[in-house]
Amino acid sequence: MLYLKKIFDELAFGQFSGLAVGNSSNGSIKQDQYPKIISILNSALLDIYTRFPLRRKEFDLYQRAGIETYYIRPDNVGETDIGDPDIYIDGSEDKAIDGDIIKPIKAYDADGEEVFINNNAYPEDIFMPQYDIIKINERDPLEVFSIVYQASYPEIEMEEGFNPATYELYFPRYITQALLANIASRIFIGKTSNAIEGQPTLSNTFIYKYEAEMARIDDLNLVLEIEEADERFDDGGWA
């Protein structure tokens, strides 16, 4: 298992060892710096999860009579069988969206047949003018669509009882070095090094390390490729 404290320790003993955020009495990130580091960590994770399709999710969209424009937003998520025309996204635990959409990937109808997104050859399918708006011509009968999308990593939040030693992280370990370099590049923005004039800033040095790590991940083909199955179960799960 990978815990948040491991990331804090890596930063404190490595990239941040000479800064005020590190070198605390227990050799980790100082507690009063948690909000700052976690905010930067969330931004770094978003960048990595945008660059690589590390997480996929799916939600069900229920067509409503008289509606052609659907918003993929929390106000439209809930119990789809209560008759509210503004609730058309299934809000059950395994389907709910939580603002983590990076981009839609695929769409399927209730029979598991692919419905094309923004494909000029299929104008009667789905059109998305932006990442959280879906336009569908009304069909007879009304249909249920499953939308598969590339998702960001869930935001790390400091809730009551927050403890880095017990806060588990679920991203693949191979992105750790890229993540650390990305965080460091953001921390060191505006900070100068003792290097001679003309040398890269500390921030740029870590940006180079970050890009090198991202290229290494890509070159080694470490990101799992998900092949779409030709057929899917009727319940919208993968075949």
CA 175 from chain centre, in angstroms, equals 14
Q: Across all residues in the chain, what is the average pLDDT?
A: 85
Name the residue with higher pLDDT: 82 or 196: 82
pLDDT of residue 13: 79
Segment of 83-92, 197-206, 229-238 carrying the highest mean pLDDT: 83-92
Q: Is residue 173 predicted with pLDDT exceeding 90?
A: yes
DSSP letters for 21-36:
TS--TTSS--GGGHHH
pLDDT of residue 94: 62
* Cα–Cα–Cα angle for 38, 98, 50, rounded to 5 degrees: 60
Residue type, 107: A
**Residue 78: beta bridge partners?**
90
DSSP letters for 120-185:
TT-TTSEEEEETTEEEE---SS--EEEEEEEEPPPPP---TT--TTT-EE-S-GGGHHHHHHHHHH
Q: What percent of the chain has pLDDT over 70?
A: 82
Q: Is residue 234 predicted with pLDDT exceeding 50?
A: no
Q: Which tokens belong to 136?
A: 């569908």
Inter-residue contact 57 to 141 (CB < 8 Å): no
Q: What is d(CA 160, CA 65) in angstroms, rounded to the nearest whole number?
A: 43
Q: Is residue 122 predicted with pLDDT exceeding 70?
A: yes
pTM for the model? 0.84
Radius of gyration of the chain (CA): 22
